[in-house]
């Protein structure tokens, strides 16, 4: 082998992780854009309305996503480098600060910074090890490598999510991550794949997946805004939509608009389910890209 060719191969090998980090970082931000663009979404921000929110709109989300672009590339590179969990946590804390600066203090993506960040890091880590695209299930399962660190990491007792967890004694996204995101493996990904395999558009497939999540997940945002009654109402509405055919119903958009009006009247917003939806889309896309 010539010295010139050997240098070329070495340079190419060294470039692969960096390229993968940028690619996965773009896919992560793209997944959040896809979640934002999906409409109608009951109680959630879309390009057309602010749902149940009075402190944010689509422009707020776009500013946040712009501020988070570097974070997802950085956490992907950290995954490739097998950085310790504490490094991932530091990146997440810095990303949250960047988000709050961009949105004037509004929390648009705290949940996504956590879950999508971990999944991006693990997808990048597996690509670096295997030199091939991992399955969505492999990425979810791989997050369990950080289980002990996740369980030991300090919680913010003042956040809405932690107050709700303590009040109602239910698990949250940290427990999901430590368990390898069973909610994604068992609910979101099967729903998304089934819809896409049936010929649904991206938007329709995302809607179907979102409604499956709302129907089955104890969404802390819904509990925070509506208590147990609000959570039960949201689940009942989602289950009724799905039982009526979901996106196979010819009037599914009108049905979702009607559900959305009821969510807004009750100030309900399934933000946790929206974060999981973005994670599911990222996992699907990284299998193909």
Write down the pLDDT at residue 169: 85
Domain count, the chain: 1
Nearest to 192 by CA among 201, 211, 205: 205
- Give a yes or no: residue 52 inside a domain: yes
Q: Which residues have a Cβ under 8 Å from the Cβ of 164 and sit 6 or more positions away?
A: 170, 220, 223, 224
Write down the pLDDT at residue 224: 94
- Give a yes or no: residue 255 inside a domain: yes
Write down the pLDDT at residue 155: 76
Cα distances from 14 to residues 20, 81, 223, 236, 247, in angstroms, run 11, 12, 47, 52, 45
Measured on CA atoms in the order 207, 171, 72, 136, is the torsion positive or negative?
Answer: negative
pLDDT in tens, the chain (289 residues): 444 433 433 333 334 456 999 999 999 999 999 999 999 999 999 999 999 999 999 999 999 999 999 999 999 999 999 999 999 999 999 999 999 999 999 999 999 999 999 999 999 999 999 989 999 999 999 999 999 999 998 877 767 777 888 888 888 999 999 999 999 999 999 999 999 999 999 999 999 999 999 999 999 999 999 999 999 999 999 999 999 999 999 999 999 999 999 999 999 999 999 999 999 999 999 999 8
- Give a yes or no: residue 4 inside a domain: no
- Give a yes or no: residue 10 inside a domain: no
- Give a yes or no: residue 9 inside a domain: no
3-state secondary structure of 163: helix
Write down the pLDDT at residue 64: 98
Write down the pLDDT at residue 222: 97
- Give a yes or no: residue 8 inside a domain: no
Main-chain dihedrals φ then ψ at residue 269, nearest 5 degrees: -145, 115
- Give a yes or no: residue 1 inside a domain: no
H/E segment holding residue 10: helix 3-37
Nearest to 270 by CA among 45, 44, 61, 85: 44
- Give a yes or no: residue 53 inside a domain: yes
Asked if 34 contacts 278 with a C-beta cutoff of 8 angstroms, the reply is: yes
Asked if 234 contacts 226 with a C-beta cutoff of 8 angstroms, the reply is: yes
Write down the pLDDT at residue 156: 74
Number of other CB atoms surrounding residue 173 within 10 Å: 21
Asked if 153 contacts 90 with a C-beta cutoff of 8 angstroms, the reply is: no
Q: Can you give the residue range of the structural domain that contains 228?
A: 16-288
């Amino acid at each position: 082998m010539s010295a010139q060719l050997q240098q070329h191969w070495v340079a190419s090998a060294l470039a692969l992780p960096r390229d993968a980090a940028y690619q996965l970082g773009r896919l992560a931000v793209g997944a959040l854009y896809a979640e934002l663009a999906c409409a109608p979404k009951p109680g959630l921000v879309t390009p057309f309305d602010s749902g149940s929110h009075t402190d944010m709109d689509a422009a707020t989300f776009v500013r946040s996503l712009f501020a988070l672009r570097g974070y997802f590339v950085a956490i992907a590179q950290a995954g490739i480098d097998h950085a310790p969990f504490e490094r991932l946590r530091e990146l997440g804390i810095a990303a949250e600060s960047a988000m709050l600066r961009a949105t004037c203090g509004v929390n648009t993506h705290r949940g996504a910074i956590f879950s999508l960040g971990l999944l991006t890091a693990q997808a990048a880590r597996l690509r670096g090890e295997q030199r091939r695209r991992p399955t969505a299930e492999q990425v979810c399962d791989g997050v369990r490598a950080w289980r002990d660190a996740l369980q030991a990491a300090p919680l913010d007792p003042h956040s809405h999510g932690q107050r709700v967890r303590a009040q109602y004694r239910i698990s949250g996204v940290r427990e999901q991550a430590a368990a390898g995101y069973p909610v994604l493996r068992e609910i979101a990904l099967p729903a998304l794949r089934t819809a896409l395999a049936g010929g649904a558009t991206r938007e329709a497939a995302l809607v179907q997946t979102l409604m499956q999540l709302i129907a089955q997940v104890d969404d802390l945002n819904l509990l925070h805004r509506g208590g147990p009654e609000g959570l039960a109402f949201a689940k009942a509405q989602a289950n009724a939509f799905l039982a009526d055919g979901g996106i196979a119903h010819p009037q599914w958009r009108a049905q979702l608009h009607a559900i959305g009006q009821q969510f807004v009247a009750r100030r309900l917003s399934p933000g946790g389910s929206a974060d999981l939806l973005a994670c599911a889309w990222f996992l699907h896309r990284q299998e193909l890209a």
